[in-house]
Amino acid sequence: MVPRFIRPICLRIWDFFVWKNVSGQRNSGTGTGKKEERKDDMKEKLEQLKAEALRQIEASDALEKLNEVRVGFLGKKGELTSVLKGMKDVAPEDRPKIGQLVNETREQIEKVLEEAIAKMEKAAREAQMKAEVIDVTLPAKKNEVGHRHPNTIAMEEVERIFIGMGYEVVEGPEIETDYYNFEALNIPADHPAKDEQDTFYISGDFLLRTQTSGTQVHEMEKGKLPIRMIAPGRVFRSDEVDATHSPSFHQIEGLVIDKHITLADLKGTLAEFARELFGEETKVKFRPHHFNFTEPSAEMDVSCFKCGGSGCRFCKGSGWIEILGCGMVHPNVLRMSKIDPEEYTGFAFGIGLERIALLKYEIDDMRLLYENDIRFLKQF
């Protein structure tokens, strides 16, 4: 039997447990109801998202807009991702069903989206092909390919001939000093060629070279003997522009320095050059002349390659055409370059490149070479 004074305490404890149990049952029922309500809300929201996504896909008229739909609904921060974050409020037994609904909604949106993209890309390709249609009956576009200038053709031909004889091609500066352009070539200070009317002076002792002979002097001063060289390049003289003159033109000057070089070597070399350039039947003729840097000096003519020497308009009835100047190197020129004229001798020659081009291609006006007329240049 429970003592009288303890009975009220036991009754109060009993009442507390009964109340707690009833209260727990009520709370449990309320939570279940809320989770059930949450599940229905998510189903409804998924249906709304799918409907809105399909509406936006249908309304899109560009691939960029379709991409915006993809990002907005299927991206990492998209609407479906937001729905998945609310799965914690769904009853555990309902989560698989909600997850399945989310995946089905994603798949349905992706399917419609991919079909829309494919349809739009196909339409874009068809529009592009229609705009870029090729008419195969139209004439093809010509590929305009340039070619070498007549001067370049002539220069390469001359270089080929002399390289075949064992010569080397040497280039020099277009701006020279008075010494290399005149004095070292045995041209005294009072020579008419040094007049400002014939030479372009820059400042003081510097000038635009009037010949490429200065390159020969530079090579002789190196002291590397023997020498067999040609020096092609542009030169400058104060001439009026006409059919046969220009203030800027090209020269090819040659030099040979060795022991026992004679005038016979000069004549034989230039005769072979003429035959290579103008044909095997070409004959040569040497006429006495004067140049300050050679002694003896001569001018060389070639038989007319148009009439064979019988006389025509091309050779002005003489049967011969003047082609170059030449001679044996003057002893003073050798001495100024520290070469002993008692041990070494040599010969030199100079050819006007434009003259070679005019003769070889029967051009009657030098100015045509520099006017850049496509109609003229296309002939070569």
Q: Are residues 103 and 68 in the same domain?
A: yes
Query: Which residues of the chain have a pLDDT value below 70?
Result: 1-40, 85-90, 94, 193, 196-197
332 in any annotated domain: yes
Neighbours of 374 (CB within 10 A): 8
Distance between CA atoms of residues 210 and 245, nearest Å = 14
Q: Are residues 334 and 259 in the same domain?
A: yes
Q: Are residues 119 and 259 in the same domain?
A: no
pLDDT for the residue 23:
41
Q: Are residues 224 and 337 in the same domain?
A: yes
Q: Are residues 170 and 294 in the same domain?
A: yes
User: What does the block give as tokens for 373?
Assistant: 């007329």
Q: Are residues 303 and 373 in the same domain?
A: yes
142 in any annotated domain: no
Q: Are residues 27 and 104 in the same domain?
A: yes
Residue 286 exposure: Cα atoms within 13 Å on the Cβ side: 17
pLDDT for the residue 197:
58
136 in any annotated domain: no
pLDDT for the residue 286:
95
Q: Are residues 162 and 121 in the same domain?
A: no
Q: Which residues in 134-154 are b (16+ Cβ under 10 Å) and which e?
A: eeeeeeeeeeeeeeeebbebb
Residue 233's CATH number: 3.30.930.10
Among 97, 131, 165, the domain boundary falls at 131
Reported as a single tens digit per residue, the pLDDT across 132-158 is 777 778 888 877 777 889 999 999 999
**Model pTM?**
0.61
Q: Are residues 126 and 154 in the same domain?
A: no
Structural domains of the chain, count: 2
Which amino acid does the sequence have at 141? Answer: K
144 in any annotated domain: no
25 in any annotated domain: yes
Question: What are the two backbone dihedrals, phi and then psi, of residue 80, each rounded to the nearest 5 degrees?
Answer: -65, -35
Q: Are residues 122 and 224 in the same domain?
A: no
Structural domain range at position 160 = 150-377
Strands 227-236 and 168-169 turn out to be: parallel
2 in any annotated domain: no
pLDDT for the residue 270:
96
Among 96, 131, 166, the domain boundary falls at 131
Q: Are residues 30 and 126 in the same domain?
A: yes
1 in any annotated domain: no
Tell me how far CA of residue 321 lies from CA of 148, 305, 357, in angstroms.
26, 9, 13
Q: Are residues 252 and 362 in the same domain?
A: yes
pLDDT for the residue 207:
93
pLDDT for the residue 375:
85
SS (H, E, C) the chain: CCCCCCHHHHHHHHHHHHHHHHHHHHHHHHHHHHHHHHHHHHHHHHHHHHHHHHHHHHHCCCHHHHHHHHHHHHCCCCHHHHHHHHHHHCCHHHHHHHHHHHHHHHHHHHHHHHHHHHHHHHHHHHHHHHHCCCCCCCCCCCCCCCCCCHHHHHHHHHHHHHHHCCCEECCCCCEEEHHHHCHHHCCCCCCHHHCCCCCCEEECCEEECCCCHHHHHHHHHCCCCCEEEEEEEEEECCCCCCCCCCCEEEEEEEEEEECCCCHHHHHHHHHHHHHHHHCCCCCEEEEEEEECCEEEEEEEEEECCCCCCCCCCCCCCCCEEEEEEEEEECHHHHHHCCCCCCCCEEEEEEEEHHHHHHHHCCCCCHHHHCCCCHHHHCCC
198 in any annotated domain: yes
